Amino acid sequence: MTLRVFEKGPSRSSRVIWLLNELQLSFEAIDVDLRNPKSPQNEEFIEVNPLGKVPAINHNGFYLFESVAIMNYLSALKPEFKMIPLENPQERALYDQWMMFATTELEENLWNAQIHSWLLPEELRSETAIKASHFRYDQSIQILEKHLATHDYVCGAELKAVDLSLAYLLNWASQTHWLNAENHPYCSRYLKKLLAREHCPYGKPQS
């Protein structure tokens, strides 16, 4: 099996690399020059993902981009690790629910705040957009906080790929001070547990 992963450091590709290691899948990591994604050395990468964004994979000629799609695909390749529900429709629906929640309710607001803070040209940035994103994030994180008060992982007692995606986002929120142990004790406990995993690519939690 030839699995090439186009990635770049602490981006969304990091959660794909983490999952690959959890699944014990062999892969070749290709570090992409995102400053010039259309350079000749990135020719294969652009063929895999014409948007020029990471992560993307080439699995024996099968091209795939978007980190959530990649994580679900990889998890299905190794069903023995039970990182994605494949047989029970209700279990799969709950998994998809939390994966979509992570993407639309948490990641979207974190990303919007970041682009309006420094990524967009200065004339396009908006303090109002940052405040609105923070407001919507606060509403969503309380839903996750309540859920994690009674669950070890979002889908129950066992780790799933969606937990790795949430760990990436909660770690991001922690770095921006949108997540803290005082206001979000259960989310913080959950994040600390995930950061302590052997293959986690983020900083280990402080004791």
Long-range own/partner contacts, residues 50-56 (CB < 8 A, 24 or more apart): 54/6, 54/7, 54/8, 54/11, 54/12, 54/13, 55/5, 55/6, 55/7, 55/11, 55/12, 55/13, 55/16, 56/5, 56/6
Sign, CA dihedral 21-29-7-56, equals: negative
Query: What structural domains and CATH numbers belong to the chain?
Result: 3-81 (3.40.30.10), 89-195 (1.20.1050.10)
For residues 124 and 183, give the distance between their C-alpha atoms in angstroms, rounded to a whole number. Answer: 32
Residues 6+ apart with CB under 8 A from 194: 163, 164, 166, 167, 200
pLDDT in tens, 132-167: 999 999 999 999 999 999 999 999 999 999 999 999
pLDDT band at 9 (very low <50, low <70, confident <90, very high): confident
Tell me the pLDDT of the chain averaged across its residues.
Answer: 95
Higher pLDDT, 17 or 35: 17
Residues in the chain: 207
Q: Residue 112's beta-bridge partner residues? A: none
Share of the chain above pLDDT 90, in %: 90
Q: Assess contact for 109 and 140: CB atoms under 8 A.
A: yes
pLDDT per position as a tens digit, 159-195: 999 999 999 999 999 999 999 999 999 999 999 999 9
Question: Do residues 153 and 165 lie in contact, with contact meaning Cβ atoms separated by under 8 Å?
Answer: no
Peptide linkage before 55 cis (omega within 30 of 0): yes
Return all residues near 39 (Cβ < 8 A) that are at least 6 apart: 33
Is residue 14 a contact partner of residue 195, using CB atoms and an 8 Å limit? Answer: no
Residue 33: pLDDT band (50, 70, 90) is confident
pLDDT score of 204: 66
Q: Is the pLDDT at 206 greater than 60, yes or no?
A: no
Q: Could you tell me how far CA 48 lies from the centroid of its own chain?
A: 20
